[in-house]
Amino acid sequence: MRRTLPLDRLANLLPGERGLTRAEVAQRRQLYGPNDIIEVAGRPWLDLLRDTAGDPMIWFLVATSVAYAALGESVEALTLLLAILPLVGMDAYLHRRTRASTEGLSSRLAARATVVRDGSETQIAAIDLVPGDLAIVSDGEPFPADGIIVAGRQVQADESALTGEAFPVPKHALMEVPADGAEPAVDVAYWGFAGTRVLTGRAHVRVVFTAGDTVYGEIVRSAAGEAHVRTPLQTAISSLVSVLLVAAAVMCLLLAFVRLRQGYGWVDALVSAATLAVAALPEEFPVVFTFFLGVGVYRLAKRQALVRRAVSVENIGRVSCICTDKTGTITEGRLHLTHLIPAEGIAEAGLLALAAAASRHDSNDPLDAAILRAASSGGASPAAAEVLETFPFTEDSRRETAVIRDREGSVLAATKGSPEVLLSMSTLTAHGQTTWNQRIIALAEEGHKVVGCAWRMLDHSRCAGLEPTHGYRFAGLLAFEDPVRAGVADAIAKCREAGIHIVMVTGDHPVTARAVAREIGLGDATPVIISADEMEARVSSGEGGSLRNIDVIARAVPSQKLALVRTLQESGEIVAVTGDGVNDVPALQAADVGIAMGERGTRSAREVAAIVLLDDNFRTIVGAIAEGRQLFRNLQLSFAYLLMVHFPLVVTAALIPLAGYPMLYLPIHIVWLELVIHPTALLVFQDLPASQRQARSGRRMRARFFAPRDWVVIAAASTLITVLIIAGYGYGVGERGSVEHARAMAIAGLTFASAALTAALSQLRTWVARTVTASTVMLSILLVQTPVLSRLLHMQPLHWDDWGRVLAASILPALLPLMFPPRD
């Protein structure tokens, strides 16, 4: 990663270690503003109110509730008003989560900074830093802004918050200003970044970027500024509701006008229009959608996947690609000592004891921590009674040496570091060095970080204060790795079986990334790997679609991860992103489904993610996607049922009165039909069980709810039901000569068709489906055939041959979804 260095900000300040004067600070603060990396909105609750008021679903529920109240349906009106509460609550929750995410991002920033001003060191609030300030950052302290390191030795930084990688990053002082323009590109090795911290050494940093211009600030702005995009299904529901409302309004006005022209009077005209309005109001769709989201949250929680944004339940079932961070997601996120290769005559415990003797107990270096942890658990603590001298790791020496006196009083030097350096300092022959070099190369190609260890006896009185540089006995090699989490390989295999593409995104070298990818089975153990720079080149040249065939993106930085997600989305993929660090926040926010690790993930990643894995197990993602696919499938079936039943209800409620016949449905009939439709849509289909294994998909799952073939089946079935209802009504009026008989034929036909569709779509797989189907049939027979009830409903009992016609007519439309069920 290289950043441009705007030299105009640092005029007469590079190179050198001069601090700013108070006058310069005041001038620069006026020009660049405070170092406020995390900007907090002034009136956040007003923003919440504005966003909530702009939600069309809220206004739809309010409007339909008022309409029901005006029609005297107080129960329906109250139900719809209560349905607003969870929607408003969800908006408030998301608002609170955004603020919590901002607080989590703030936790990694420096609160105070040591700077040189007017020739002396002073402590100031980090927010008061300005470009040009000379900041002094010591061991364990965070960088307060982005700047160029102008002085410092043995400086290493922990940049895992930005890069996700666990290894310490060596830093160097920029001794000469590049001469390639007003904004030369400077390598990351010379930069200190806000949100990261110094592991070893003491760095003098010339501040270049503050506030939102820092890399960390860009991440925060990307996370906070990412607009909440409505999901495809939400958009489809809003569009459907809008179309149905407009169509219902037009039809109601038309029906009222026609009934008046037909001479039925104002009362009939108003009742006809009101009845049609009640029948046409599509309140089932948003209510069912909200209900299914709640069911999804519950089911995914049982699978150890905590849903933080309910609408992600829709997308999790349609995921076609997972972009996963390596460190902390595929791997455990910390170094482990995995291989001890001692030299001849030295035991593994002895090699580990020497390495521990050359390590510092008070160090923040993950390498020292891994060695000391392994030594403690293995009982190989160093046999030193006293540490006489230490010579820390530097980029020049590439080793760390400790001079110790053991329990017998002997003095020895133990050193660890670059194997190549230690081999050159050893007494090994050329042949011996070649043999060890081959072992080093083999370990490195397997993705290990390799460290050598050596030792020699000393006469301390003769070399006090000087680091021994030759005459060492080579003790062996230590190999470290960031281990793969248990179960990841199996989970990836299941994703591959389900047609879900996995892309591992890492800042590692391609060789290391390849070793990990092979271990977990990416690309059937022959992963296709490209660098992030090559990925950007492909995107720039219009070849972004080729990324669907890539298994690993190596040497990636946060902005490139975000670009990868957006490119895959533009290619038609439904993208899930897994991650656990601050560096993952922008990609988690932009993804269709952001999945954070609950145990090891940073607070920022957990708060911004749509789903948090409670057990940090990659396998949980597979189970969550399987559950999500079944939930999406269930929602498809529920909406297919609603469309097939709702369309005939509305059309027949309008066409029969428009044709001059008496009204088919009275308000009490609409209540009856709603008592059939609502529980069926809400209970039957959400209760269908999830599949035990992932379904194989031969194509990418597109961002659509129904395929064209599904719309054809829905249209054909609903049209057929409409025709049969009208035919039944005509038969009753013509053959039986009775409007009450005709009405009974038509309504019984619709209720029986509803039961048949329920049976066909659910296949009666649950007791709820069987109970609701049977109850619908029995209720219809009871209400129609009981003379008292039939009279109250303005109907007449049917003859048994009429029931035969009703049954035959209801089964025929149900054959279509039975033979051609909605596709996933």
For 669-684, the three-class secondary structure string (H helix, E strand, C coil) is HHHHHHHHHHHHHHHH
Q: Of 378, 410, 415, which Cα lies nearest the Cα of 393?
A: 415
Q: Give SS3 for 787.
A: helix
Q: Do 318 and 433 belong together in one domain?
A: no
Position 680 scores a pLDDT of 84
Residue ranges making up the domain that contains 575: 305-332+485-616
When pLDDT is cut at 50, 70 and 90, the band that residue 262 belongs to is confident
Please tell me whether residues 544 and 682 are part of one structural domain: no
> Which residues partner with 151 through β-bridges?
204
Q: Which residues 6+ apart lie within 8 Å of 711 measured at CB?
A: none
Domain boundary among 460, 481, 502: 481
Same domain, 467 and 491: no
Task: For residue 239, tell me if it sits in a domain.
Answer: no
Question: Rounded CA gap, 490 and 498, in Å?
Answer: 13
Tokens standing for 267? Answer: 């009362």
Amino acid 778: pLDDT:
94
CATH number for the domain that contains residue 791: 1.20.1110.10
Q: What is the CATH number of the domain that holds 22?
A: 2.70.150.10
Which among 724, 717, 741 has a CA at the least distance from the CA of 662? Answer: 741
Separation in Å, CA 651 to CA 48, 614, 644, 810: 40, 49, 12, 17
User: Poorest-confidence range of 370-379, 536-545, 575-584?
Assistant: 575-584
Residue 99 pLDDT > 60, yes or no? no
Same domain, 346 and 400: yes
For residue 135, give the DSSP letter.
Answer: E
* Pairing between β-strand 305-307 and β-strand 473-481 as defined by DSSP bridges: unpaired
Residue that is last in its domain, among 174, 193, 225: 225
- Which is higher by pLDDT, 527 or 55? 527
What is the average pLDDT across 486-509?
Answer: 83
Predicted pLDDT of residue 318: 80
Residue 228: which pLDDT band, with cuts at 50, 70 and 90? very low
List CB contacts of 149: < 8 A, sequence separation 6 or more.
155, 171, 172, 173, 174, 190, 191, 192, 203, 204, 205, 206
Q: Report helix, strand or coil for 609.
A: coil
The enclosing domain of 438 has a CATH number of 3.40.1110.10
Is residue 634 included in any domain, yes or no?
Answer: yes
Say whether pLDDT at 81 is over 80: no
pLDDT of residue 59: 66
Percent pLDDT > 70 in the chain is 77
d(CA 240, CA 705): 12
pLDDT at 408: 79
Are 609 and 683 contained in the same domain?
A: no
- The yes-or-no verdict on residue 678 having pLDDT over 80 is no
Q: Where are the alpha helices (DSSP H) in 498-617?
A: 510-520, 532-540, 558-570, 585-590, 603-608
In this structure, is residue 310 part of a structural domain? yes
Task: Give a three-class secondary structure readout of 411-459.
Answer: EEEEEEECHHHHHHHECCCHHHHHHHHHHHHHHHHCCCEEEEEEEEEEC
How far apart are the C-alpha atoms of 316 and 611, rounded to whole Å? Answer: 9
pLDDT for 432 equals: 92
Report residue 73's pLDDT band, with 50, 70 and 90 as the boundaries: low
Whole-number average pLDDT of the chain: 80
CA distance 189 to 157: 10
Across 48-57, 113-122, 502-511, the highest mean pLDDT is recorded for 113-122
Mean pLDDT value across residues 375-381: 72
Regarding whether 206 and 99 lie in a shared domain, the answer is no
- Let me know whether 497 and 603 are in one domain: yes
What's the sign of the alpha-carbon dihedral 744, 749, 754, 760? positive
Q: Is 233 part of a structural domain of the chain?
A: no
786 vs 658: which has the higher pLDDT: 786
**pLDDT digits 0-9 by tens, 307-339:** 766 567 777 878 889 998 787 678 776 788 888
Which residues, in sequence order, are CB contacts of 354 under 8 Å at separation 6+?
382, 414, 416, 453, 455, 475
Does a structural domain hold residue 501?
A: yes
* Region of poorest pLDDT, from 185-194, 300-309, 552-561, 649-658: 300-309
User: C-alpha 736: how far from its chain's center?
Assistant: 62
Same structural domain for residues 27 and 125?
yes
Q: Is the pLDDT reported for residue 598 higher than 70?
A: no
- Main-chain phi, psi angles of 141, to 5 degrees: -95, 150
Which of 505, 509, 506 is closest to 447 using CA atoms? 509
How many other CB atoms sit within 10 Å of the CB of residue 175? Answer: 9
Q: How confident is the model at residue 580 (pLDDT cuts 50, 70, 90)?
A: confident
Examine the domain organization and report whether 776 and 720 are in the same domain. Answer: yes
Name the domain count of the chain.
Answer: 5
pLDDT the model gives residue 510: 80
- Block residue for tokens 């993950």: 366
Helix (H, G, I), strand (E, B) or coil at 340: strand
Q: Tell me which of 307-311, 525-529, 724-728 is least confident.
A: 307-311
- Is 797 a domain residue? yes
Distance (Å, whole) CA 684 – CA 761:
10
Residue 524: pLDDT over 70: yes
pLDDT (0 to 100) of residue 196: 87
Query: Which pLDDT score, from 0 to 100, does residue 703 have?
Result: 46
Which two three-digit tokens encode residue 625? 């996607």
CA distance 761 to 818: 7
Q: Could you tell me if residue 577 is inside a domain?
A: yes
Domain of 520, CATH number, reads: 3.40.50.1000
Residues 140 and 54 in one domain: no
Residue 634, pLDDT > 80, answer yes
Q: What is the pTM of this model?
A: 0.59
| Average pLDDT of the residues in 289-313 | 69
| Maximum distance among all Cα pairs of the chain, rounded to whole angstroms | 125
Q: In the prediction, which pLDDT does 692 show? A: 44
Give the highest mean pLDDT range of 291-300, 307-316, 731-740: 731-740
Structural domain ending residue among the three candidates 185, 203, 225: 225
Instruction: Name which residue leads in pLDDT, 279 or 212.
Output: 212
Query: Domain for residue 256, yes or no?
Result: no
pLDDT class of 695 with cuts at 50, 70, 90: very low
Averaged pLDDT for residues 80-104: 58
Residues 736 and 783 in one domain: yes
Q: Which residue has the higher pLDDT, 16 or 394?
A: 16
User: Would you state the pLDDT for residue 428?
Assistant: 92
**Are residues 309 and 299 part of one domain?**
no
* Across 51-55, 509-513, 643-647, least confident range: 51-55
675 or 559, which is more confident? 675
